[in-house]
Amino acid sequence: MAGIIDVAREAGVSTATVSRALSGKDYVSPETKELVQEVANRLGYVPSSSAYTLVTGRTRNIGVVVPYVDRWFFSTALETIDRELVKAGYDVTLYNLSSGDAHRESVFTNSLPRKRFDAVLCIAVKMTDEEMAALNKVNKPIVSVGGLLEGAHCITINDSAAGQLATEHLLAMGHTQIAMIGGGSTDEKLFSVFDERREGYETALKLAAIKPRSAWYKQVNKYAISEGYSAAKQLLGDPHNSPTAIFASSDELAVGAMLAAKDLGLSVPDDVSIVGVDNHELADFFGITTVDQNVTGQAELSVKTLLKMLDNPTEDAEMVVDWPVELVVRSSTTRVRAKD
């Protein structure tokens, strides 16, 4: 556990010189610089981050807040966020809100304000006003990806537009009997992307002069294949009113829908067209047409934004980035077949 004093003594210089030589922030003669580096290296000197933080106020640490880590959107985003931040020399402290309300509160009142980080990055966490206030009190940059957060820089897709795009694709293929699989917004931790995607779906229908049928909206509890499967079975098994197309508000739901169709002996896309949202790995495998939201790209941008704010604390424009979505057409959608 060699400290800066050991290095200084061993190199025959002062601690200040060691500090300068190692940080490179000030002029030191090339020879002493090299000498100091050699000695520090030999002694295995690693500066104490707490001492550094105490005196500079900087932590080289970013707090990342997530509602869950074991779900697709979050683990995907976290993967690239952590990687990019590590590349930039920052550590990442992970605050997982899934431990329940009591601990959630303690995260906001204790852990977060402990001056343990230089900035906060939220992955689709919906926060109460008090929580935002607690965060703002520490006066550090806040960036949100996957959801709008008042007072923060945000990167997010327009979920309504995504829903509309998916539905319009189906309409353009001649479909008029289009069902949707989405969900209710029961989870308070999350943004109501389900609702917004549904809004887009209904907008598209209305623009095509089609009245949305409430029976064709199937509500599920989570983004899981199993949920999509049972919802689609309901929809497609109906003897009188089965749709010719399904808009699933996530690719995992779409996969479930596709499996349900197959199990019913229906062919995708000939008997039923299916479109999802996300561009999940599975959508590629199953050939599902989807609305790509490029989570990795969003995550990268969120880190870039954060780093820029850290370098330029002055300009704090209230920036909201509307990340573009893109339709990826694969083999799960086709023109509606001619009537029998």
Partner DNA sequence: CTGTTAGCGCCTTCAG
Partner DNA sequence: CTGAAGGCGCTAACAG
Helical H segments across 12-118, by residue range:
15-23, 30-43, 49-56, 72-87, 101-106
Least spacing, CB of residue 46 vs DNA, in Å: 7
Least spacing, CB of residue 25 vs DNA, in Å: 6
Q: Of 199, 198, 204, nearest to 218 (Cα)?
A: 198
Name the β-bridge partners of 219: 182
Instruction: Give the interface with DNA as residue ranges (CB under 7 A).
Output: 1, 3-5, 12-20, 22-23, 25-33, 45, 47-48, 51-52, 54-56
Least spacing, CB of residue 307 vs DNA, in Å: 19
Residue 211 within binding range of its own copies, rule CB under 8 A: no
Cβ atoms within 10 Å, residue 260 = 25
Residues of span 219-238 touching its own copies by CB under 8 A: 224-226, 229
Task: Give the integer Cα–Cα distance in Å for 32 and 48.
Answer: 22
The rounded radius of gyration (Å) of the Cα atoms in the chain is 26
Task: Give the integer Cα–Cα distance in Å for 159 and 325.
Answer: 9
Residue 94 within binding range of its own copies, rule CB under 8 A: yes
Q: Which of 10, 20, 21, 68 binds its own copies (CB under 8 A)?
A: 68
Q: Which two tokens stand for residue 331?
A: 């083999």
User: Of 40-48, 193-201, 205-213, 237-245, which part binds its own copies (CB under 8 A)?
Assistant: 40-48
Between 14 and 241, CB nearer to DNA: 14
Q: Which of 17, 19, 76, 290 binds its own copies (CB under 8 A)?
A: 76
Between 9 and 83, CB nearer to its own copies: 83
Residue 187 within binding range of its own copies, rule CB under 8 A: no
Q: Which of 281, 316, 322, 326 binds its own copies (CB under 8 A)?
A: 281
Q: Of 201, 221, 226, nearest to 211 (Cα)?
A: 201
Residues of span 100-129 touching its own copies by CB under 8 A: 103, 107, 109-111, 113-116
Q: Of 140, 123, 142, nearest to 79 (Cα)?
A: 123
Return all residues near 265 (Cβ < 8 A) that are at least 6 apart: none
Q: Which of 54, 148, 207, 215 binds its own copies (CB under 8 A)?
A: 54
Helical H segments across the chain, by residue range:
4-11, 15-23, 30-43, 49-56, 72-87, 101-106, 129-137, 159-172, 193-207, 225-237, 251-263, 281-286, 295-311
Residue 206 within binding range of its own copies, rule CB under 8 A: no
Residue 96 within binding range of its own copies, rule CB under 8 A: yes
Q: Which of 14, 23, 49, 312 binds its own copies (CB under 8 A)?
A: 49
Antiparallel, parallel or unpaired: β 91-96 and 142-145: unpaired
**Which residue ranges make up the site for its own copies (CB under 8 A)?**
44, 46-51, 53-54, 59, 61, 64, 68-70, 75-76, 78-79, 82-83, 86-87, 91-96, 98-99, 103, 107, 109-111, 113-116, 137, 224-226, 229, 262, 281-282, 284-285
